[in-house]
Amino acid sequence: MADYILSRQFLEDMAAFEKSASARDLENVEKAIAAIAQAPDLPRRVPSYYDPSSPSYLYRSGNLLIHYRTPRPGGVEFLNLFWPKI
């Protein structure tokens, strides 16, 4: 399992998400974070070209989209959390 950190933006996104999330949605986020930390090179990840000098990826879990990067071997940084805001 990789060491991981949550960026300030990810923490802010999580706080906003938790206000309207169901228990199932929260469980989905926890499982997705664990899956990414376990194997950051997941086959369903999609490259994100937000910062070409530090490649990042998008991973979909249900209706959530998690933006993360691997700044060093064995490390994952969670950058953003996206979800449909209705």
pLDDT along the chain (86 residues), means of 10: 90 94 91 92 87 87 92 90 84
DSSP 57-83: EEEEETTEEEEEE-SSTTEEEEEEEE-
CATH code, domain carrying 67: 3.30.2310.20
Instruction: Please tell me the pTM assigned to this model.
Output: 0.89
Tokens of 60: 């979909």
What's the pLDDT at 74? 85
> Could you tell me if 76 and 3 are in contact, meaning their C-beta atoms sit under 8 angstroms apart?
yes
> Could you tell me if 64 and 28 are in contact, meaning their C-beta atoms sit under 8 angstroms apart?
yes
Segments forming the whole domain that contains residue 47: 3-82
Domains: count for the chain: 1
